[in-house]
Amino acid sequence: MSGKTTGPRDANLVFAGMMVFILSFCCLSAAAQASRNTRAQRGSTLEPPAERSNPGRRYVAVIGVNRYANWPILSTAVNDATGFATLLQKQYGYQSATPPLTEAQATRANIESLITRDLAGKLTGDDDLILFFAGHGTIRTDASGEQTSFIVPYDAQAPGRDERWNDYIDIKDFLREVSGLPAKHILVILDSCHSGFALGQMLRLPRSGGERLTEDLERKVSRKVIASAEGDETAADEGPVPNHSLFTGLMIQGLESGKADVYGDGAVTGSELGAFVQHAVRTTEGATQTPVFGAFYYDDAGELILSSGGVLPKLAPSKLAASVPQGALTTAPGPTSQLIPTASRMDASYNRATILFNQRRFSEALPFLSQVCSRGITDACNSIGFMYQYGFGVARDYVQAKSFYEQSCTSTASIGCSNLGTLYRDRLGVPQDYLRAVSLFSKGCDGGIVQGCDNLGRMYLDQPGFTHDYARALTFFTRSCDAGDGPGCANLGTIYVQGFGVARDPSAAAKYFSKGCNMGSKAGCFSMGTLYRVGEGVPRDLSKAIEYFNRNCRMGDNEGCESAQRVRQLGGGAMSPTTPTVPARPPLATPSSGRSETPGVFVDPQTGLMWTAKDSGVALGYSSAVAYCSNLHVNGKNDWRLPRVDELKTLYDASGRNLPECKDFSGKSLPYPIRVRSEISLGCYWMWSSEQGHQVKMTGGPVTTIRIFNFYYGAPGESYENDKQNRALCVHEGSAASR
């Protein structure tokens, strides 16, 4: 059903000054849709003054839609947006970040552009932001029971049979993007049916605020959100304040009258405003909704403070303790938490470093992180190590990465322990040592670091050369997933879809893939797209397959983009769950398969490349692999070569089920399928490419890696030249015809 609500792995939103982004979503009940005379529901059932301690600007940006292109008409959304902005400008000295996005201007493209371009290019690290949206929202429950809530932009298709979920904006994704803006304080307000649903999945009880000075509250980063209704409630489009919804009307009234300033000290914190409006709505006669409020990603217990003319009073100790009131919520670690310094001991340098790091402005963040790391704040040391490991803002240097991870991995468990373990696992600047890696992963996992648990699970699941133990893998992935780690949930899905140590259960796999996707896992989103494409564990539905592939694509995975396009070419945009299955690839013997008439080769009709039909049969070092192809004489041709990674990728087929011939270092057969086109026979997963990787600093001097391709994961990797766990598959620039 249709309505005004909100919903849930990568873009940045920025507002200069103090910006309040209020999302006010409308939900309409069936009766409201039947008659405009029926009151609409926003949602769907489906001491002396001191100068401001920061010099930043205060901004407000608003979005509001009454008259949708395809959705039912609302009555107060636009007035809620513009009225709230006017109040902030007149009473609190805010300025508009951009002109309001109202009615037909509030398309999905314009809303995304507002965040990723307009605001991102305008805000600075000292600014405050308030963001407001008023309009429809909706909620979806998929076949695995997972629920997702969405913002509905002006141009979305009508709800019902023609509904396209790709038209909507996932609320959790939206909040994640907003959280990455450089503004110091951000307040997001959601006035919508079911808007508390998305919040409930990402927020938890905060630590106590204590008796802190106003300057302390304002110095620390804040990311606060107020939602107008619990997850299972609708939000009224009208209320006792004329021309406003119940929620927004009472909030405006409280600020205008001063009632929202419960302690009478001349200022209102974001959390105080949430507590006020929660009480005001709940005590209104006939109200059927309960507002909720709390913090989201990157919050460090700071507060956005509303005060007339930007002058901040000294807040009463009782109010300071109440600035994060009982029942408020704060963020659990997000899916990119290993990239983000936690805000446990924030100061000015740490504050700046956090903002720059989260915006991926690594080279700018480095001097601030170095200052903080030198003072013993281990999270900053970990972040520097991460930059050196992956070459973010600095030259890749595993020796430096190891040094900073060791500073981070103290007796108090840190994510640095888990990251240090990856160096020993993958032989990056140190000798490969699986026992050391497991010890470091365990230290992180036992200390509550979800990545440590996930890495342990992966070791026991499929690490080559390490004893596999599916029961342990299941245990550690479950701990990781239960703690809110998206990749851990996606890995649980893999266990159930493949039947590793458990009865194969695609339905359970779908549950975990969906949960992982909603927590920001690329693999979770891609796997859900695949399940919907083939109809395994969920009803076959190409439209939903496209939706999940697009989510994967928006996370930066090009494979999701390509998969969505391929499904569209099959007519997925208009297909129902009962659409017949996609025809299988033609048999090898048919001309359309592209198979050469000459045995031992395969010609891809799409690329024109000729491939050997089998790999080298044994693992080779890189030099031997080059020699193998160059000395090959097949089909009358002797100028064969190793392929590039992008060429190998054209042979990847996610539906492949062939089991490998290769074994791990203990001699145990590997159980994971080789996902390659049926015209090609591979004996193992890893194939050499002709491309160089990165230069790695080693004790004996720099070493250049070689890129490889993995036909289980469908992704590239890197290997040292003397590694003898990769095979050679050769390619030729020519047709299959021969004389």
**Angle, helix 470-482 to helix 506-518, in steps of 10 degrees:** 40
- Report the alpha-carbon distance of residue 649 to residue 644 in Å, rounded: 9
**In this predicted model, which residue has the larger pLDDT, 598 or 218?**
218
Residue-level pLDDT at 173: 83
* Length in residues, the chain: 739
Torsion sign (Cα): 478, 522, 362, 57:
negative
User: What pLDDT, in 10s, does the model give residues 456-481?
Assistant: 998 888 777 777 788 899 999 999 89
Poorest-confidence range of 442-446, 588-592, 682-686? 588-592
Mean pLDDT of 124-142: 86
Beta 58-64 vs 101-102: how paired, if at all? parallel
The single-letter code of the amino acid at 328 is A
Residue-level pLDDT at 700: 59
Q: Are 453 and 490 in contact (CB under 8 A)?
A: no
- Report the alpha-carbon distance of residue 235 to residue 196 in Å, rounded: 11
**In this predicted model, which residue has the larger pLDDT, 504 or 443?**
443
Residue-level pLDDT at 468: 77
**In this predicted model, which residue has the larger pLDDT, 585 or 63?**
63
DSSP secondary structure, 567-627, as one string: HHHTTGGG--TTPPPPPPPPPTTSGGGTB-SSTTEEE-TTT--EEESB--SS-B-HHHHHH
**In this predicted model, which residue has the larger pLDDT, 427 or 211?**
427
Side by side, the strands of the sheet bearing 686-698 are: 686-698, 701-710, 715-719
The pLDDT of residue 390 is above 80: yes
The token pair that represents 133 in the structure block: 């949206």
Poorest-confidence range of 155-169, 382-396, 427-441? 155-169
- Report the alpha-carbon distance of residue 201 to residue 513 in Å, rounded: 16
The pLDDT of residue 525 is above 70: yes
Residue-level pLDDT at 87: 94
Domains by residue range for the chain, with CATH: 19-331 (3.40.50.1460), 337-574 (1.25.40.10), 591-732 (3.10.100)
User: What pLDDT, in 10s, does the model give residues 230-252?
Assistant: 767 777 888 899 999 999 999 99
User: What pLDDT, in 10s, does the model give residues 258-286?
Assistant: 888 876 778 888 888 988 888 888 888 88
User: What pLDDT, in 10s, does the model give residues 402-457?
Assistant: 999 999 887 555 688 999 999 999 888 899 898 999 999 998 888 888 888 989 99
650: left (phi over 0), alpha (psi -120 to 50) or beta: alpha
Q: Are 222 and 301 in contact (CB under 8 A)?
A: yes
Residue-level pLDDT at 599: 42
Q: Are 634 and 734 in contact (CB under 8 A)?
A: no
Poorest-confidence range of 22-31, 83-92, 406-415, 489-498? 22-31
The pLDDT of residue 592 is above 80: no
Residue-level pLDDT at 696: 61
Residue 689 in 3-state DSSP? strand
Nearest to 483 by CA among 450, 442, 517: 450
**Angle, helix 450-462 to helix 415-426, in steps of 10 degrees:** 20
The pLDDT of residue 664 is above 60: no
- Look up tokens 């600014």; give the residue: 127
Bridge partner residues of 641 (DSSP): 731
Mean pLDDT of 53-75: 85
In whole numbers, what is the pLDDT of the chain averaged over residues?
75
- Report the alpha-carbon distance of residue 61 to residue 16 in Å, rounded: 10
The pLDDT of residue 556 is above 50: yes
Output DSSP code: residue 410. Answer: -
Residue-level pLDDT at 216: 58
The token pair that represents 602 in the structure block: 């395969």
- Predicted confidence band of residue 19 (pLDDT cuts 50, 70, 90): very low
The pLDDT of residue 9 is above 60: no
Cα 382 to the center of its chain, rounded Å: 21
Residue-level pLDDT at 292: 82
Output DSSP code: residue 670. Answer: P
Question: 130 Cβ partners below 8 Å, 6+ apart?
Answer: 15, 18, 19, 20, 21, 22, 58, 59, 60, 61, 88, 94, 186, 187, 189, 304
- Predicted confidence band of residue 59 (pLDDT cuts 50, 70, 90): very high
- Report the alpha-carbon distance of residue 319 to residue 151 in Å, rounded: 33
User: What pLDDT, in 10s, does the model give residues 325-357?
Assistant: 322 222 223 323 333 333 333 456 666 777 677
Mean pLDDT of 374-392: 87
Radius of gyration, alpha carbons of the chain: 28
- Report the alpha-carbon distance of residue 653 to residue 647 in Å, rounded: 13
User: What pLDDT, in 10s, does the model give residues 616-628?
Assistant: 988 888 888 998 9
Residue-level pLDDT at 450: 83
pLDDT > 70 in the chain, percent? 74
* pTM for the structure as a whole: 0.47
Q: What is the 3-state secondary structure (H, E, C) of 374-404?
A: HCCCHHHHHHHHHHHHHCCCCCCCHHHHHHH
- Report the alpha-carbon distance of residue 461 to residue 491 in Å, rounded: 9
Mean pLDDT of 653-679: 72
The pLDDT of residue 256 is above 80: yes
**In this predicted model, which residue has the larger pLDDT, 203 or 637?**
637
Residue-level pLDDT at 574: 34
Residue-level pLDDT at 570: 66
